[in-house]
Amino acid sequence: MQAYRQNMAKYAPNVDLTGFIAINYYQAGYLLYSLIKQAGIQDNMSRDTLVNAAEHFGPFQTGFGNTVTWTTTVPREPTTCGYPVQVRGGKWVFDSQQYCL
């Protein structure tokens, strides 16, 4: 939460920190960074190395209330489920109930 607040203050000072879109976009960047770091491909990034890393990524706890696991199984089915989140006392608090659209 501390890194999120610092980065948002620096790069998106006028954006609501508690908004779903802000949290989702921040998570996407963290996820990509973590995938690249975990696979050790930061000095060898190509489409092939990135796809291979993604096909063998996870399970990865994002710290945002969800776990990401990517494999070679296709077709990949995106989820429309999530956990509502609120910022309380400088921390993300995720609802224990998962909601699906």
Q: Identify the pLDDT of residue 10.
A: 92
Q: Identify the pLDDT of residue 46.
A: 94
Mean pLDDT by 10 residues, the chain (101 residues): 84 82 78 91 93 90 76 73 79 81 78
Q: Identify the pLDDT of residue 65.
A: 66
Helix axis angle for 2-11 and 20-39, nearest 10°, is: 110
SS3 sequence of 13-63: CCCCCCCHHHHHHHHHHHHHHHHHHHHCCCCCCCHHHHHHHHCCEEEEECC
> Cis link prior to 84 (omega < 30° from 0)?
no
CA distance 55 to 34: 14
pTM for the whole structure: 0.58
Q: Identify the pLDDT of residue 25.
A: 76
